[in-house]
């Protein structure tokens, strides 16, 4: 009965590779997000998607691209991985504009290690 | 979004009430106060939010001062599982943008 799920949980890869992280939510939410938590534990928003439209794109390299095949999924594609991309990536979902808006539900995270 | 200030860390004895303060002196009239927490190796978890009235749910209580420049999150009977980093976030409600997390307070519940 997982609300927000991510796969894989761990991802170890070499520099220069291209990888994807998948996220799915079964809460019926209309907005999904990707956050990055670096080694210093700072948690920062990367992207948010509302009804298949990109709402926010923070100062994230264009090697990162979110892709949403439908409202329940927001996958994160990363090209040409660099050492600095090593972090924990969290997916989240929420209802923007509704009575319970801003209550975001987070997935368990994907720990990406770039060697 | 208004800036928040929280203590870096706090200790609390198991079974006692944990009171976590947050200063948000630049909060504007339409901004809400939200609290999230992150238990080690897990994703952040929503706790509670409020505008100006005190709020209570099954997890915690939120006390907001009358001038709204500060607030306190209260965990009434802290358990070891409440050890986590607690984030106070101030934002306008209803936006589709992401949450802005600060450094939070690392709450350690002592047995």
φ/ψ (deg, to 5) at B97:
-80, 170
Are the beta carbons of A48 and B32 separated by less than 8 Å?
Answer: no
Pairing of strands A87-94, A31-37: antiparallel
SS3 B65: coil
Task: Name the residue with tokens 């992401």.
Answer: B98
The Cα of B55 is separated from the nearest Cα of chain A by a number of Å equal to 14
Partner A contacted by B61 (CB < 8 A): no
Distance CA B57, CA B59 (A): 5
Distance CA B70, CA B99 (A): 19
What residues of B are in contact with residue A35 (Cβ under 8 Å)? 98
What residues of A are in contact with residue B43 (Cβ under 8 Å)? 4, 90, 92, 106-109
pLDDT tens, position by position, A28-40 = 988 899 999 998 8
Enumerate the β-bridge partners of residue A93. Answer: A32, A105
What residues of B are in contact with residue A109 (Cβ under 8 Å)? 41-43
Length of chain A equals: 115
Output the pLDDT for position B43.
Answer: 95
Top residue of A34, A105, A106 to mutate, by most chain B CBs within 10 Å, is: A106
Q: Which of residues 27-56 of A touch B (CB under 8 A)?
A: 31, 33, 35, 41-48, 50, 55-56
Average pLDDT over residues A81-98: 89
pLDDT tens, position by position, B15-57 = 999 999 999 999 998 899 999 999 998 999 999 999 998 999 9
Is the pLDDT at A58 greater than 80? The verdict is: no
């Amino acid at each position: 009965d997982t609300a927000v799920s991510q796969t894989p949980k761990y991802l170890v890869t070499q520099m220069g590779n291209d990888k994807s992280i998948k996220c799915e939510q079964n809460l019926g939410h209309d907005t999904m997000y990707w956050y990055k938590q670096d080694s210093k534990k700072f948690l920062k928003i990367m992207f948010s998607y509302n009804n298949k439209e990109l709402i926010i794109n923070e100062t994230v390299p264009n090697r990162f691209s979110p892709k949403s095949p439908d409202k329940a999924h927001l996958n994160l594609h990363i090209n040409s991985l660099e050492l600095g991309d090593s972090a924990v990536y969290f997916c989240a979902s929420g209802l923007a504009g509704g009575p319970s808006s801003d209550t975001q539900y987070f997935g368990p995270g994907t720990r990406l290690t770039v060697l | 979004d208004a800036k928040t200030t929280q203590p870096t860390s706090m200790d609390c004895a198991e079974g006692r009430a944990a009171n976590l303060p947050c200063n948000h002196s630049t909060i504007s009239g339409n901004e809400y106060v939200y609290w999230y927490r992150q238990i080690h190796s897990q994703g952040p978890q929503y706790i509670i939010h409020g505008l100006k009235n005190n709020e209570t749910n099954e997890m915690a209580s939120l006390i907001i001062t009358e001038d709204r420049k500060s607030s306190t999150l209260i965990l009434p009977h802290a358990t070891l599982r409440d050890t986590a980093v607690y984030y106070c976030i101030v934002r306008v409600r209803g936006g589709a943008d992401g949450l802005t997390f600060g450094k939070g307070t690392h709450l350690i519940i002592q047995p």
